[in-house]
Every structure is written in structure tokens, then in C-alpha cells.
Amino acid sequence: MTFSYMELAGYLMTQENRFIAKPCALHVGIQDSGPYQAQPNAILEKVFVSITKYPDEKRLEGLSKQLDWDVRKIQCWFRHRRNQDKPPTLTKFCESMWRFTFYLCIFCYGIKFLWSSPWFWDIRQCWRSYPYQPLTSGLYYYYIMELAFYWSLMFSQFTDIKRKDFLIMFVHHLATIGLITFSYINNMVRVGTLVMCLHDASDFLLEAAKLANYAKYQRLCDTLFVIFSAVFVVTRLGIYPFWILNTTFFESWEMIGPYPSWWLFNGLLLILQVLHVIWSYLIVRIAFKALIRGKVSKDDRSDVESSSEEEDVATNPKSACGSGPSNGANRVNGHPGRSYWAEE
């Protein structure tokens, strides 16, 4: 059943990219073209494929003498060549648009569903009459949609560009899928809905900030990132441990006593909390740099090079390589050009 919902999710993503995301991207000026192609060169290609994608100064000087090229030109070639292997901004925009749409819709659905649920207002209701609690159709579809989506993220992680936090995200997806499946099997769905809704509260804000970043609306991007940071820290380091973990650790023990799956269930919840602390540290560090520099800087978790740099290269390769003049007025959507911050 879950895999049929995964197929449905894949179909919806394709249609959303075709009829919504791509037209929106073109409307805000994101070009439907790949990165600037590096000039074919057998010697540099061999170094890039067999030796290193980031040559040091000594190797650059050797290549400069061998090819009779300027060092700056060789550096530019390697930058263009690296960008060829990375998805264009349009692709990243469409992916973020799909995730933004899902996170926003599922969060609104979760709030609507939980608003009329007694355990949303009194969390101790999660354990009353356990495990003989009815599974309503609304709760069932909430669980299935979340589970199908995270399974799709698990598989797509191996085909998307790899980032520095690949292992952390892999552990997160495993823990999330394990928690959703385990809580469903053990009928801990009431507290499970609270956990899912709490996590969805900040995810759509991050995707919205990424969309603004790709579209070069830097002020909007900075504003959304600040809002996301605040919501993330409050929900993951405040509400989650003091509301969710408190009821799963202490109130459940008090009301229904220890049960065999208690240790595994709370162990998975603790893994999520550890990941929350790691991500909060990264987010606070980015926010701190933004306050100092007056802009949102590169996401320390990402290996993606500057999206703005890629677009500059695509539109004006000579200027990007240092071969043309620059007026220093690099402006984006009416605002001074700023350095990038890459996706999660």
C-alpha cells in the first residue's frame, strides 16, 4: 500500500514540476539551461577525472606551463567543469517547490486534523485507553502520506547530489521511517501525529527560503531564513523535548507502565533529538555569520557551489573568468548582489 502511495507521490511531483514549478521559475527569471560548458581539453579532463577536481597552486602552475594558459584561466576551467556535474538552478528550484508544496499542505492538514483531536489539547490523552484506541480514516491517511513521502526522500537521496550531511540525513530518514512504522504497528499514532506535525512546522519555511534564494530575492530569503531559524529552534529544542519527550518518557511510564517497545520507541525519539541539536548548531552558525556580514552565507552542510556564480558564468562566461571588465554593481532583483547559501 505504501509503495502505491509512493508512486502517486512521484506522479504528483512530476505534474507539479511541469505545470507549477517550472512556469514559476521561468517567471522569476531562472533560465531553462544548464551551466556553462567548459572548453574541451584532454589534459585538464584527465586531471579532473583521474587526479583531483580541486588542483592546488603547485599543480596549477605546472598545468599553466604545460598548456601555456594563465593560472586564472585554468582555475576557471575547473570551476566550470565542476558545475557541469551539478544540477542547474531550475532543477533545484523545482525540487524545492515540490517539497515546499508537500510540507505546507501536510502541515495544514495536520493542524486541521489535530485541532479537533483531544490529545492536541491534553497530551495525556495519548495514553488513555492505550492500546485500544480507534484508528480513524483521517489519521490513517495522515500516516500513509508522511510515510510515503519519507520513503521517497530515502530513495532520492542516493540519486540527488551528495552533500556533507548525507550520513546525518540518512540516519534521520531511517529514524523517521522507523518511528512512523513502529508507532503505527504499536498503535502509538496519537503521539506520532504530534511528532509529525511539530517537524512539519519549520520544514516548509526552509524550502520557501531556498526558493527565494534561487530566484535572487535576497531580502525575502534572509527574512524567511530568520523566521525558519526561530521556528526550528523553538519547536525542536523547546516544544519537542519538554512536551513530546516528557510525555513519552514520564507520562507514558506513569499511566501505562513500562512495556517492551518503550525503550526502542524512546531511543528513536532521542536519535531525532540529537540530530536536532546538530542542525540547530549549524543553523545558529549560519545566522551568526549573517548578522556579522549582513547576509545569509553558505550553508556549511552543502557541497553545491554558488548558484549565483553558476548563473553569472552561464550569462557572461568571459566576465566570470576574469577576462572581461566588471563594474562592481552586481545587482539581483533590485538588491545588491550577495553571496549564496545552499540547500539543506
| Euclidean distance between CA atoms 157 and 68, whole angstroms | 41
pLDDT at 36: 66
User: Mean pLDDT of all residues in the chain?
Assistant: 78
Phi, psi of 130 (to 5 degrees): -70, 140
Q: What is the mean pLDDT of residues 116-126?
A: 94
Pairing relation of β-strands 335-336 and 331-332? antiparallel
Q: Which of 30-39, 80-89, 319-328 has the least mean pLDDT?
A: 319-328
Q: Quick one: 86 exposed, middle or buried, by C-beta within 10 A (0-12, 13-18, 19+)?
A: middle
**Shortest CA distance to 340 belongs to which of 177, 239, 165, 213?**
213
pLDDT at 153: 83
The answer to whether 174 and 186 have CB atoms below 8 angstroms apart is no
Cis status, amide bond into 260, omega within 30 of 0: no
pLDDT at 92: 81
Asked whether the predicted pLDDT for residue 168 surpasses 70, the reply is yes
**Shortest CA distance to 224 belongs to which of 146, 308, 109, 341?**
341
Question: The C-alpha cell of 139 is what?
Answer: 489519521
Asked whether the predicted pLDDT for residue 339 surpasses 50, the reply is no
Question: The C-alpha cell of 182 is what?
Answer: 513502529
The answer to whether 240 and 276 have CB atoms below 8 angstroms apart is yes
Q: Where are the domains of the chain?
A: 35-85, 89-295
The answer to whether 18 and 163 have CB atoms below 8 angstroms apart is no
Asked whether the predicted pLDDT for residue 237 surpasses 60, the reply is yes
| Euclidean distance between CA atoms 240 and 249, whole angstroms | 12
pLDDT at 143: 93
**Helix %, strand %, coil % for the chain, to 5?**
70, 0, 30
What angle in degrees, to the nearest 10, is found between the helix axes of 262-293 and 166-185? 140
Q: What is the mean pLDDT of residues 54-71?
A: 84
Asked whether the predicted pLDDT for residue 243 surpasses 90, the reply is yes
Considering just the CA atoms, what is the radius of gyration of the chain in Å? 24
| CATH, range 35-85 | 1.10.10.60
The answer to whether 65 and 89 have CB atoms below 8 angstroms apart is no
